[in-house]
Chain A
Amino acid sequence: MLKVSNIEVYYGKIRALNSVSLSVKQGEIVTLIGANGAGKTTVLRSISGLQRLEKGKIEFLGKDVSIVPAENLVGMGLAHVPEGRRVFPGLTVYENLEIGATSWRKGKACLSGDLENIYELFPRLKERSKQLAWSLSGGEQQMLAIGRALMARPKLLLLDEPSLGLSPVLVEQVFEVLHKINGQGVTMLLVEQNAFMALDIAHRGYVIENGRIVLTDTASALSNDSKVKEAYLGG
């Protein structure tokens, strides 16, 4: 479904990604784990077209999307839940969700089916539907960011550290929902520093260090890998 081949990305003169390759197959949850500053966010931003590639190629659903503008990718079925949630603070929960459907919605097409699904996954959002997004708690904002991305009816969902800043209970809840969404047929590429949780729900994983993929395997093999254990799972 997604194939990233040897991409290189620079910030000014500094190379952030060095020949990164990875792939995600239909139906999978693939996780990309790594320390602060390893380049995880840059990988996702490159895939969704927010970051210019210096070299390499990205294919999505068999099409070369390396130079497709970011705003067109979401219409092709690629949604990105960005780092830091980035909900629209001055819009209500409902309006945020509604705007998530921009890429496919024509005129006033009915959204109630999509909304119902999201409210079922995140009942909190339904309770808060008329509230402005800035007034939500961090956890609720994360739910909204995920819900908003789902409104785009994605085939592939990119998630950038959905557990960041959430209490352990909330992290559990969010990951449970991600598992459910995957069961509904949404493929995922999940970036996490919380390697424990990520490897728990993922099928396969990649480890990134200093802008390079250093390791890839099934999630269970990675969980048992001594280097991964030491570096990312607290020994």
Chain B
Amino acid sequence: MIQLLISGLAMGSIYALVALGIVVIANAVNVVNFAQGENVMLGAYVAATLTLTLHLPILAAYAISIILLALYGYIFQKVAYYPLRKKPFITVVVATIGVSMFLKNAARIVWGPQPIYFAGPFGESMIRVGGVSINAQNILIIVVTLALVVFQHFFFAKTSLGRQMQATAQDQEAATLMGIKVSRMIAFTFIYSSMLAAAAGVLLAPIFYVSADMGANLGLKAFAASIIGGFGSVPGAILGGLFLGVLEIFAAAYVSSLYKDAFAFIVLILILAFMPRGLFGEKISTKV
């Protein structure tokens, strides 16, 4: 029971991180980034290569992966967003789908079709609490996610850069009139979102195998989570992600693991039908 809940929350934390990355971009530039799942995959592969091939210590690999993904985020927006920023919504979304397919196929060519396993900083070790033993990686995932959420809140609410990014997300033209460098703020938003993806990737790898296909499912689930929570809402993305993770694990344990994915989408459809604004509604105050 406790074990299930912890693994559900761990998986849910990953969904939450991916969903956050999607929501931050959606709020800032009104684009749904369908490549976010592949960005997670990229972060995981980079960390795997750094540890398995280049034999770097695992925490260094994590850090370098996050830094490289930040750089990637900058390039991504320069290539896939900036030239299209005045085009209709759908054009940009299609571009992100194009990037996701490119990344997936490139990963297959570079890293081959075999899934790669790479252990986390704690290997396979289990933590015993009371009578139950819990996978240490799951605890790490939950703790790091929590820390990132707290950091994000502080960053956007309290720092000058965070405020400027919020203002840009809310009204680009008005932000320009304040002297805010809007295109720079948008670049920062993409960089931040890619760093979130890298964090999700390195945390997820030890419990999930790294493969070219891991991104597609993850991206969809995270998108579903953000809709379940109320699209555009930051707390909604976090709670939606956690909810979905826990739901899946319990459905797999008590109903059937075969239909684990189906559950996620059944819930999504029910929510869309009966609570179109998501479980937690959309509050303008929570937009980033």
Contact = CB atoms under 8 A, between A and B. Distances in A.
Interface of A: 48, 50, 70-72, 74-75, 79-80, 82, 86-91, 95, 98-100, 102-103, 132, 134, 148, 152
Given A98-B163, A99-B163, A91 B170 contact: yes
B22 interface: no
A148 B286 CA distance: 22
Given A70-B176, A74-B179, 12 more contacts: A80-B177, A82-B177, A86-B174, A88-B166, A88-B171, A89-B284, A90-B287, A99-B163, A99-B178, A102-B160, A102-B178, A134-B285
A48 B177 contact: yes
Contact of A102 (B164, B166, B170, B171): B164
Contacts of B182: 71
16 contacts: A50-B177, A71-B179, A71-B180, A80-B177, A82-B174, A86-B173, A90-B166, A90-B284, A90-B287, A99-B163, A99-B164, A99-B178, A99-B180, A102-B179, A103-B178, A148-B178
B284 A134 contact: yes
A152 B174 CA distance: 13
Interface in B176-235: 176-182
A88 B174 contact: yes
B99 interface: no
B173 A82 contact: yes
Contacts of B287: 90
The B contact surface, by secondary structure, is helix
Nearest to B27: A90
B15 to A, nearest CB: 24
Contact of B163 (A75, A79, A91, A103): A91
Interface string B61-72: 000000000000
Contacts of A86: 171, 173-174, 177
Given A86-B174, A134-B284, A91 B179 contact: no
A72 B176 CA distance: 9
Question: 4 smallest A-B Cβ distances: which pairs?
Answer: A103-B179, A86-B174, A74-B179, A88-B170
A74 B166 contact: no
A170 B181 CA distance: 34
Contacts of A75: 179
A87 B171 CA distance: 8
Contacts of B285: 90, 132, 134
B158 to A, nearest CB: 10
A70 B173 CA distance: 9
A91 B180 contact: no
A152 B176 CA distance: 13
Given A82-B173, A88-B166, A102 B284 contact: no
Contacts of A98: 163
Contacts of A103: 178-179
A152 B179 contact: yes
A50 B173 contact: yes
From A71, A79, A103, name the one whose CB has the most chain B CB atoms within 10 angstroms: A71
Nearest to A134: B284
B58 interface: no
B170 A90 contact: yes
Contacts of A80: 177
Interface string B271-285: 000000000000011
Given A71-B182, A132-B285, A88 B167 contact: yes
A224 B130 CA distance: 90
Interface string B247-288: 000000000000000000000000000000000000011110
Contacts of A71: 176, 179-182
A74 B171 contact: no
Contacts of B179: 71-72, 74-75, 102-103, 152
Contacts of A82: 173-174, 177
Nearest to A49: B176
A206 to B, nearest CB: 22
Interface in B63-90: none
A152 B21 CA distance: 33
B180 A102 contact: yes
Nearest to B288: A90
B8 to A, nearest CB: 31
From A82, A98, A102, A152, name the one whose CB has the most chain B CB atoms within 10 angstroms: A102
Contact of A50 (B160, B171, B176, B181): B176
Contacts of B286: 90
Nearest to A50: B173
B271 to A, nearest CB: 24
